[in-house]
Amino acid sequence: MKHFIKSEKLDQLGMTASLACAVHCAVLPFVLTALPLFGLNFLAHSWVELVMIGLSLIIGVYSLSTSYPKHKKLLPIMVLATGFGLIAIGHHLIESIEAILIPMGGFTIAGAHYINWKYSRTCSHK
């Protein structure tokens, strides 16, 4: 079965999207008051965060599910789930440390893509 986009490219896109999400969540509290001066106040809306999380979820699930049959390693899937778990906990359970948990989740998701990318590159199966 041929896949529309190579898993390697999806991992690279997933790392980029996850890192952008993590940086957005980490930096936004510090620059929130300056955003309107630059016409970037839309970045403070919750829909931007939801789109970033959704994009990371779609890319992550698709990328890891297409490369799992090649390398058969569960670690990238567990790391991806941990990253989304950190984001969910930050949003819904421990909102007092949301500014720490959500960027950690984004970096963890990027790490899952990196691990998956490494496994896919070193795998001997085609």
pLDDT in tens, 83-101: 999 999 988 888 788 888 9
Joined together, the tokens standing for residue 113 give 């893509």
Measured between alpha carbons, how far is 25 from 103 in angstroms, rounded to an integer?
Answer: 6
Percent of all residues in the chain with a pLDDT value above 70, rounded to a whole number:
73
Joined together, the tokens standing for residue 76 give 């990238």
What mean pLDDT do residues 73-80 have? 95
Confidence category of residue 32, pLDDT binned at 50, 70, 90: low
**pLDDT the model gives residue 80:** 94
Confidence category of residue 46, pLDDT binned at 50, 70, 90: confident
Nearest of 32, 47, 51, 53 to residue 105 by alpha carbon? 53
**pLDDT the model gives residue 1:** 46
Percent of all residues in the chain with a pLDDT value above 90, rounded to a whole number:
18
